[in-house]
Amino acid sequence: MIPHTMSRTVVLGVIGSDAHVVGITILEQAFSAAGLTVINLGVQTSQAEFAEAADRHDADAVLVSSLYGHAEQDCQGFQETLEAHGVDAVTYIGGNLAVGQDDFEETRETFEDLGFDRVFDAETSPEEAIAALRRDLRIPITDQERVTVTS
């Protein structure tokens, strides 16, 4: 676990008609333990709800989850929706993003083309996502954390 030094806000939710809640619950707990302020929108979240929450909470990152395989259709125009709400945040998406996903690199490219900064598969650990947030939000590791992480 990474100690509490990241005072950044992330908006997290499951997009579209997807009702898979376990993944975002695990992420919410891990991100909170890492010191992030987490706004968990829950399941079946619309693009507008993501954008409104990110704007309202001045979010540093917006993390979209989808496990039912239809994320591409749910995320068409997502970046434009954020921009329309004045949101300037790092955007991540993760999960089982495409039905019959054989080549994740192809899926990654699809979502990068949709404007997502990072694209994760369903096997990504919360620690990997936290490390990516640290890099993307330029959150330095403190000496205390360095000792904790390497111990």
Report how far residue 44's alpha carbon sits from residue 68's, in angstroms, rounded to the nearest whole number.
Answer: 11
pLDDT in tens, 81-113: 999 999 999 999 999 999 887 789 999 999 999
Q: Which of 4, 18, 88, 121 is catalytic?
A: 18
pLDDT in tens, 134-148: 999 998 775 555 554
For the chain, what percent of residues have pLDDT higher than 90? 79
Q: Is residue 113 annotated as part of the catalytic site, yes or no?
A: no
Res 3: pLDDT:
42
Q: Phi, psi at residue 37, to the nearest 5°?
A: -85, 120
Res 7: pLDDT:
79
Decide: pTM greater than 0.75.
yes
Q: Which of 20, 57, 70, 85 is catalytic?
A: 20
CATH, domain range 9-143: 3.40.50.280
Report how far residue 140's alpha carbon sits from residue 60's, in angstroms, rounded to the nearest whole number.
Answer: 15
Q: Is residue 18 annotated as part of the catalytic site, yes or no?
A: yes
